[in-house]
Amino acid sequence: MKVLAVGCHPDDLEIGCGGTLAKLASAGHRVTMVHVANGDKGHKVIPSDELKAMRAREAKASGDLIGAKVIGLDIPDLAVKSDNDDLVRNLADVIRDTAPDYIITHAPEDYMKDHMEVSKAVFDASFAATVPYYRTPSNPDATQGPAPIFYMDTLAGVGFLPVEYVDITQQIEIKLRMNACHESQIKWLYEHDGIDFLDFVRTVSKFRGLQSGVGYAEGFVPCQAWPRLRTTRLLP
């Protein structure tokens, strides 16, 4: 199976679905991780150009832990727009190239606009990718139909009620290691804001595990739009 995960900033996928991606990869499925924004404004001290290069390296290191392909679309933070034709076209190109069995991305409602814009852009691009005469940069063949979409948890799970859960009890440590690769974020939050973000991530995963009767879990909501629904379970 081929799974495409599209997050906004480097580290968003690790937070929301890192355990699920690790579980898929360990079972032999092909995982592609896309970061739309480059994370250039995610620090108060490190200059933007230096930071975006650092965050690209961190994202690659995280993906390498599970053998995932990592792609960055290099849009500046706070400049993500779902009505940006180039963004939709580039996402459609990635979708055509990977031909995913399903896509994981942000929920339509989250704590910041960049996340919500990515959610909408993914929805639009996954449909555009099916249109044969829609031209994309490398113009691979159109996909056969809009891929199913699963929305991952919001930050801290606020306002998000999962419909499906993935047991990541065996993957919680690799999920934390993936998050730890994003040192520019983890170290800054701990030293300057007193937030132990790895504990934050573990706590949310434990909470979802309590909801679903396992040690640790990640929660998802399927996109309820025709023709994206399936009769079989796709999540691991």
Q: What is the CATH number of the domain that holds 67?
A: 3.40.50.10320
Is position 210 within any domain?
yes
Looking at residue 187, its pLDDT comes to: 85
How many domains does the chain divide into?
A: 1
Is position 228 within any domain?
no
Q: What is the mean pLDDT of residues 183-211?
A: 91
Rounded to whole angstroms, the Cα distance separating 204 from 210 reads 10
Q: Is the pLDDT of residue 236 over 80?
A: yes
Q: Give the residues across from 221 on adjacent strands.
A: 151
Q: Give the residues across from 103 on adjacent strands.
A: 4, 149
Is position 57 within any domain?
yes
Is position 121 within any domain?
yes
What value does the mean pLDDT of the chain take? 96
Q: Is the pLDDT of residue 43 over 90?
A: no
- The token pair that represents 173 in the structure block: 């440590």
Looking at residue 42, its pLDDT comes to: 81
Domain span including residue 179:
2-222
Percent of the chain at pLDDT above 90? 91
Q: What is the mean pLDDT of residues 27-36?
A: 98
Q: What is the mean pLDDT of residues 133-158?
A: 95
Q: What angle do CA 35, 36, 40 make, to 5 degrees?
A: 90
Q: Is the pLDDT of residue 192 over 80?
A: no
Q: Is the pLDDT of residue 211 over 80?
A: yes
Does residue 227 have a cis peptide bond before it, meaning omega lies within 30 degrees of 0?
A: yes
Rounded to whole angstroms, the Cα distance separating 48 from 39 reads 8
Is position 233 within any domain?
no
- Helical ranges in 75-132 per DSSP H: 85-98, 113-128
Is position 204 within any domain?
yes
Going by pLDDT thresholds of 50, 70 and 90, the confidence category of residue 194 is confident
Is position 203 within any domain?
yes
Instruction: Identify the H or E element spanning 49.
Output: helix 48-66
Is position 56 within any domain?
yes
Looking at residue 8, its pLDDT comes to: 98
Percent of the chain at pLDDT above 70? 100
Looking at residue 65, its pLDDT comes to: 98
